[in-house]
Structure formats: structure tokens, C-alpha cells
Amino acid sequence: MSHPDRWKHARWKVSSRSGNGVQCVEQAAIADTIGVRDSKNRAAGLLEFDPAAWSRFLVDLKR
């Protein structure tokens, strides 16, 4: 898991499909890392992906 201070000033985006904004995941990018966290439980931490892995995940998700 990442150090929380690294993501303190990240610009988190909520999916447009999340309805009221708390039923989905949020995504942010800093340097060469994509962060993903739960909108309902932001304090629980986040997952980090390199851009290539994140792109592969999105391609697979759309299948």
C-alpha cells in the first residue's frame, strides 16, 4: 500500500456511473502511478497500478 501523503493532493475522479458519488470507486494519477480507492471508505487505503496495467484492466473490463 502507498504512503498516504503521496496521494494527499491528488485530483480524484468519481465515475459518472456512480449515481450520487458514493457507490463507486475513485481514480487519480500521480507521476507514473494510477490510484484507485473506494468512494464509500476513502480512509481504507487504495490500490496502485502502473499505467500499462491500468489500461489492460480497462480493456478487459469493457469486454
Q: Which residues pair with 29 in a beta bridge?
A: 34
Q: How far apart are CA 10 and CA 19, in angstroms?
A: 22
Looking at residue 48, its pLDDT comes to 94
Rg from Cα positions in the chain: 12
Q: What residue segments make up the domains of the chain, in order of their start?
A: 4-61
Q: Where do we find the cell 502502473?
A: 50
pTM for the structure as a whole: 0.77
Could you read off the pLDDT of 30-40 as tens digits, one per residue? 989 999 998 88
For residues 10 and 26, the answer to whether their CB atoms sit within 8 Å is no
Q: Is the pLDDT of residue 22 over 70?
A: no
